[in-house]
Amino acid sequence: MAYDPSQMMITNKFKTPASALRFLLLSALYFLLIHAANGKVHHHKFVIRSAPFTRLCSSKNILTVNGQFPGPTLKAHRGDTLVVKVYNQANYNLTIHWHGSNQVRNPWSDGPGYITQCPIKPGNMFKQIINLSTEEGTIWWHAHQGWARATVHGAFIIYPKRGHTYPFPKPHAEVPIILGEWWKEDVMEVPNVANITGRQPNTSDAYTINGQPGYLYPCSKKDTFKMNVDYGKTYLLRIINAVMEEEIFFAIANHKLTLVGKDGLYLKPIKTDYIMITPGQSMDILLEANQRSLGHYFMAARPYFSVDGARFDNTTTTALLVYNNSHKHHKKSPILPNLPPYNNTQASTIFTKKFRSLATKTHPINVPKKVDTHLLFTFSVNLLNCTHDKPCNGPFGMRFSASVNNVSLVHPANIDFLSAYYYKVPGVFEMDFPKKPKREFNYTADELPEYVLGTSPGTKVLVLEYDASVELILQGTNVLASDNHPIHLHGYTFYVVGSGFGNFDPKQDPKNYNLIDPPQETTVGLPKNGWVAIRFKANNPGMWLLHCHIERHASWGMNMVFLVKDGPTPQTQMIPPPKDLPKC
Ligand code: C2O
Ligand code: CU
């Protein structure tokens, strides 16, 4: 639906010139906000409500947007604006996040509960405005409160600017492939149970492709997603990992995949037999339908899981790639692709190391060459003692926790961080999040001192000056057990300039940085027992969450918040809060 400027005309009569002026100013502000990018404006209605679904031989109600699972696909062109009215008709406090959109100057519409807004209460509505800027490709949206995102998520497709083309031949058609997870139990209860016991949350019962578990699960033959193709044509797969808990290997039998974009940013094409995609990531992949001997082929997805001894859902979800007009072969059963073994870190690394930006005239990069703000964050899974008011019986009679620089983020209960900052409410957060670990240790050693096991809860934010050139080293640790952590930053895209295993070496490792064509990402897989160096310019004022996109780690506290100060001019400052911003 196109935006109609005549709606902005003043039709009311105003009693006082002051109120008329106020209205004019507000209208002008709204007008500027939604026209800043000078693309089209799309209006959408998202109604979050529960709806019955049957999977794996049983039925239950799940949270949905507009009754759909996965939810509706949003489509826009680069530079467009979306106005989404989010109605909460469910029984939970909820929010929606537009994962991979930068929300320039507008953190108010970002969505993480208690960080940039209070949740939308049942019965209420919040109008979120997404001003697209440089995003192009596939991103997605999902709930950002509790574990609601397990079923409340969908694709968000951003085409090139009108009149512009893809940096690759135009595909015949495009197909979103959303990887998800299914729990037989009520997924909203999973974190509550884990919180009481202090143990690992229950694992899922199935993975899904576009909401369907597929052939290999009980009662699921019919619940298999099918993608029809014509021989000789090329298709654009828009793959999103909306799984809560696991990184995923994905492949299609007998077919090569060509990765051309990630997280809504283009990459130099990479030909591959399989992909490793972390929770939070999205990938644009070209698929050439160039096989016909069998007529149909399985695509399959299962976890990449590298933690020794921990439980995980080790099942495999499948969908069918079906060639049109080749019925004679359909009686033969389709074949499964070769996927790397679950714990094959090498397979994950080989694929991930290939990412490169286009770095061309039409798609230039702008990686900060000089750094003025050096940060080093450790990401650990920790253990805490059970207490009187919080009894538990997790590992060693303790409870799981997780941290960034040994701080486990706890959010306020009655206000969000951003409002507290904007309205200068004291006592809600501290501004002393550590720029590096308080106590250095050999992060990735086999044997670690006992004092590194604990963590402390905190409401600390890290303050960045406007336009700071930031280099942030993400450092994995072997505390308790090392794991791959998909680290996601809200409000920004960043350049991944380096990565490796072991401890980051500030003398040697920067020598091998890629400052020529580093990939731009919004969610980066921090390798098990390794490090990643990212760079960005802190030019988007607001409060922005950084967290692990593995849900149990985030639930345990592996989150932190950046406070990026306003710049000197009105154009470099965050906009004021919308009138309908939810209250706690
Ligand atoms: Cu995909 Cu903080 O989110
Ligand atoms: Cu993690």
Closest ligand 1 atom number to CA of residue 100: 1
Nearest ligand to the C-alpha atom of residue 545 = 1
Ligand located closest to 140 CA: 1
For residues 477 and 379, is the Cβ–Cβ distance under 8 A?
yes
3-state secondary structure (DSSP) of residue 425: coil
Task: Report residue 75 CA to chain centroid gap.
Answer: 18
> Tell me: the pLDDT tens digits for 543-555?
999 999 999 999 9
Kindly give the number of the ligand 1 atom that is closest to the alpha carbon of 523: 1
Residue 409, SS3 per DSSP: strand
Question: Which residues lie near ion ligand 2 (Cβ < 5 Å)?
Answer: 485, 548, 550, 553
What's the CA-to-centroid distance between 22 and ligand 1, angstroms? Answer: 36
Span from the CA of 488 to the centroid of ligand 1 (angstroms): 6
Ligand 1 centroid–CA 553 distance in Å is 13
545 lines ligand 1 (CB under 6 A): yes
Eight-state DSSP code of residue 189:
G
> Which atom of ligand 1 is nearest the CA belonging to 112?
2
Q: Are 512 and 479 in contact (CB under 8 A)?
A: no
CA 87 from chain centre, in angstroms, equals 22
Amino acid of residue 77: H
The string of DSSP codes covering 203-237 is PPSEEEETTB--TTSTT-SSS--EEEE-TT-EEEE
97 lines ligand 1 (CB under 6 A): yes
State the distance from the centre of ligand 2 to the C-alpha of 291, rounded, in angstroms.
38
- Decide whether any atom of ligand 1 lies within 6 Å of the 100 Cβ: no
Mind listing the domains of the chain with CATH numbers? 39-159 (2.60.40.420), 173-352 (2.60.40.420), 373-572 (2.60.40.420)
Please give the Cα distance from 10 to 31 (Å, whole number). Answer: 13
pTM: 0.93
547 Cβ closer than 6 Å to some ligand 1 atom: yes
Average pLDDT, 10 consecutive residues per value, the chain (584 residues): 36 45 53 60 98 97 98 98 98 98 98 98 98 97 97 98 96 98 97 95 98 96 96 98 98 98 98 98 98 92 92 97 79 90 96 98 96 98 93 94 97 96 97 96 93 94 98 97 95 98 98 98 98 98 98 98 98 97 96
CB 414 within 8 A of CB 119: no
What is the pLDDT at residue 19? 53
Question: Quick one: which atom of ligand 1 is closest to the CA of 99?
Answer: 1
The pLDDT tens digits of the residues spanning 474-509 come to: 999 999 989 999 999 999 999 999 999 999 999 999
Q: Report how far ligand 1's centroid is from the alpha carbon of 337 (Å).
A: 30
- Using CA atoms, how far residue 549 sits from 164, 184, 573, in Å, is 33, 22, 28
Element (H, E) at 75: strand 74-77
Q: Which two tokens stand for residue 377?
A: 């964050």
Which atom belonging to ligand 1 lies closest to the Cα atom of 279? 1
What distance in angstroms lies between residue 299's CA and the mean position of ligand 2's atoms? 27
- How far apart are alpha carbons 370 and 29 in whole angstroms? 36
**Whole-Å CA distances, 123 to 49, 66, 85, 96:** 10, 15, 13, 15
* C-alpha of residue 111 to centroid of ligand 1, in Å: 9
Does residue 348 contact residue 320 with C-beta atoms inside 8 Å?
no
The atom of ligand 1 lying closest to the CA of 554 is 2
528 Cα: distance to centroid of ligand 2 (angstroms) = 10
561 Cα to the center of ligand 1, angstroms: 13
DSSP 68: B
- Planar angle of CA 181, 550, 505, nearest 5 degrees: 145
Residue 146 gets the label, from left (phi > 0), alpha (psi -120 to 50) or beta, of left
Ligand 1 in contact with 153 (CB < 6 A)? no
Distances 301 to 81, 221, 352, 353, 455 between C-alpha atoms, Å: 34, 16, 17, 20, 35
| Residue pair 229/288 in contact by the 8 Å Cβ criterion | no
Q: Is any atom of ligand 1 closer than 6 Å to the C-beta of 214?
A: no
Q: 112 CB less than 6 Å from ligand 1?
A: yes
Closest CA to 554 of 142, 209, 156, 92: 142
What separation in Å is there between the alpha carbon of 15 and the centre of ligand 2?
57
Starting from the CA of residue 110, give the closest ligand.
1
- Ligand 1 atom 3: residue of nearest CA: 99
97 C-alpha to ligand 2 centroid (Å): 19
Q: Which of 47, 138, 41, 70 is nearest to 99 (CA)?
A: 138
Residue with tokens 């486990």: 408
For ligand 1, say whether the CB of 280 is within 6 Å of any of its atoms.
yes
pLDDT at residue number 2: 37
Q: Could you count the other beta carbons within 10 Å of the beta carbon of residue 29? A: 12
Atom of ligand 1 nearest to the CA of 149: 1
Pick the ligand that lies closest to the CA of residue 484: 2
The residue among 570, 558, 563, 405 whose CA lies nearest residue 470 is: 563
